[in-house]
Amino acid sequence: MKSTKQILLMTIITASASLQAGNPFFETYDTPHQTIPFNLIKTEHYFPAFEAGMKQQDKEIEAIINNPEAPTFDNVIVALEHSGELLNKVGSPLNNLLSAQTNDELQDIAEKVSPLLSEHSNSIHLNEKLFERVKAVYNQKDKLELTPEQQMLLKETFEGFVNNGANLSDNDKVTYRQLTKELSLLTLQYGQNVLKETNKYNLLIIDKSLLTGLPADVMDMLAANAKKAGKEGWLLNLKTTSYVPFMKYADHRDLRREMYMANATKCMLGGEFDNRQNIQKIVNLRLKIANLLGYKTYADYELIDRMAEKTANVYNLLDKLREAYKPTAEKEYAEVQAYADAHGAYFKLQPWDWMYYSEKLKDEKYAINDELLRPYFELDHVKKGVFGLATRLYGIHFTKNSNIPVYNPEVDAYEVTDKNGKFLAVLYTDFHPRDEKRAGAWMSDFKPQWIEGKTDNRPQIVIVMNFTRTTDKKPALLTFDEVTTFLHEFGHSLHGMLTKCTYQSLSGTNVYRDFVELPSQIMENWASEKEFLDGFAEHYQTGEKIPAELIQKIKAAENFNVAYFTMRQLSFGYLDMAWHTLQKPFKGSVVDFEKQAMESTQILPLVPETSMSPTFSHIFAGGYAAGYYSYKWAEVLDADAFSVFSKNGIFDKKTADSFRQNILENGGTEHPMVLYKRFRGQEPTIDALLKRTGIML
């Protein structure tokens, strides 16, 4: 006998068969673990599937509303949780490809479907009859015998309706629909502008003498850039793998300034990709939405479901860290300035000088630099080390499966199994920069985890990065920072892969924003541990294990300029909060507003005509609005949590099991502090972070 969901889906499919014939989204995937058949999906398949998915969920919502039985947890809350299966099926690949493998056609589809999805979501949350049934169950919460996970799902469902306008008047609901529709398009446009503006900039160098100071590996990479573009010479661009090493090593100061200015003025010089007007519209729309829902600021609205809870607590953390680190950061700047002066730099260090001179000072103090370490961090060896770390900690194994379709030939897919060979997840890895991929590094999922009946639907996770590529002369050799980034994103993937939850909206990384970075940031702690590095770091040519003295140098240099980098990250947190604690519509200069917001954390000299807000995708195109502080919040957690590993042994099985069972497996099924205290035995303090970074002895 077919379920109601199956009957509804069959009805929709029959009604629009002409659009759905041969469309993979309407079929059961005949692939390993029912992974997405990227090789079969065409651009024209997306929109019909979105339309059908919305119609299917509409019918599922109607079934919940028209159910003659009294509202219960199962027939309302669980039924709502399980609705929208087809919509999730088509939305997941598109959302991921828009970041990792985009093109004009996909972006056009996104622009077309974004307002429709916004309206569809609003129609659910603003449906009075549906909300009445949700509220009826919520009002019984104290009488229902629910598990902690069920209690959390009920709470999140009810509050999701309230925080998306369910209690608004009819007139205000109309306003809310329009505001959210506009906002979804603007954030999409903002992100597309950043990618297009980044890709637009190229600087071809044909005079090799202008590139003195650059290591041979970097020169090879720049030559490969030029060759790929059909040119002779060395091609500079604003992708991290080219930009960062250039700023670290290039002797030519004017060229460093040119590159810095190109990067620091993206999306703010006029033209089609200028984001300044988008910023104004986005923050003002967010403020209107918050006010409409009864909040003074957008930050007040966003912090409802955060560990921080309110803006005062966010500022309390930021202020404490600023007070603790700023004196040391100023000393670090003075030390780099003194070094530059001693080496003939008769000028006040500017932002385009910072990486160059601080890298030379680091090399002089610790005799260590990226190019010295790269030969020991060949990508395949690093993968072995990172995967092996998960094996040692959690007993899981990774087996590459070339039969799993991928969205780009550079992507690999792995089957992840536990110590008994039981299937846990599929992990996709995507390591290198492309024009169709946005900058940065991130983890996402193509399919979340949930349990329905006796079936544990296991997740399909992807980690995406922009690491140094293979050249004609050498394999992909990573910097130490890239190794750390790999560990970070892999930590997110463990959160997604090891989850054991009943409901997908609570599984994996579906946790409070200021808790989600704990599983990722804690993994970074292993990067400088000898016992970890000894397991995989060997010279790509000689096979020599990384020398103990090099590891000692890594450890010694671990806190080099740590206060400066802390102040830089705090400045981003203050800027984010400034934009989202506005109480009146913004009408001024983006540049002036930003400078004022970041003034208290300023270490390097200001460059008046630059701004990061037009490319601050985390808060204007991602999920970190009023949430960038989360990185520092979670850093307090990760330092405190890793202190347990440090005490018991970095591979201690009992500690790892506790972290897995209490943190990684539980997703958002309970309040994060409850889960954390279950692992740690107490609430975290800032002390472990201050000790780790050398601020407190």
Active-site residues, by number, are: 489
Cα 144 to the center of its chain, rounded Å: 37
Q: What is the DSSP string of 83-141?
A: --HHHHHHHHHHHHHHHHS--HHHHHHHHHHHHHHHHHHHHHHT-HHHHHHHHHHHTTT
Q: In angstroms, rounded to a whole number, what is the distance separating the alpha carbons of residues 195 and 273? A: 9
Nearest to 375 by CA among 553, 538, 557: 538
| Cβ-based neighbours of 509, under 8 Å, separated by 6 or more | 443, 445, 492, 495, 496, 516, 519, 667
Q: What is the CA radius of gyration of the chain?
A: 26
Contact 540, 475 (CB under 8 A): yes
Contact 583, 296 (CB under 8 A): yes
Tokens 């260590």 correspond to 368
| Helices of type H across 163-275 | 170-200, 216-228, 240-249, 253-264
Count of Cβ atoms closer than 10 Å to residue 681 Cβ: 9
Secondary structure, 3-state, 65-80: HCCCCCCCHHHHHHHH
Per-residue burial over 620-650, b if 16 or more Cβ lie within 10 Å, else e, is bbbebbbbbbbbbbbbbbbbbbbbbbbeeeb
What does residue 291 show for φ and ψ, rounded to 5 degrees?
Answer: -60, -40
Which own/partner pairs from 11-19 qualify as long-range (CB within 8 Å, at least 24 positions apart)? Answer: 11/59, 12/52, 12/55, 12/56, 12/59, 13/52, 16/48, 16/51, 16/52, 19/48, 19/51, 19/52
Distances (CA, A) of 185 to 87, 116, 255, 403, 582: 19, 10, 37, 37, 21
The residues facing 447 across adjacent strands are 460
Tokens matching residue 557 = 């240099």
Nearest to 93 by CA among 54, 42, 22, 21: 42
Q: In angstroms, rounded to a whole number, what is the distance separating the alpha carbons of residues 145 and 393? A: 36
Which amino acid, one-letter code, is at 580?
H
Find the Cα–Cα–Cα–Cα dihedral 428, 99, 444, 283, rounded to 10°. 170
Q: In angstroms, rounded to a whole number, what is the distance separating the alpha carbons of residues 464 and 433? A: 9
Contact 329, 321 (CB under 8 A): no
Q: In angstroms, rounded to a whole number, what is the distance separating the alpha carbons of residues 457 and 449? A: 5
Helices 562-580 and 630-648: crossing angle in degrees, nearest 10, is 140
Q: Residue 59, exposed/middle/buried by CB under 10 A (0-12, 13-18, 19+)?
A: middle
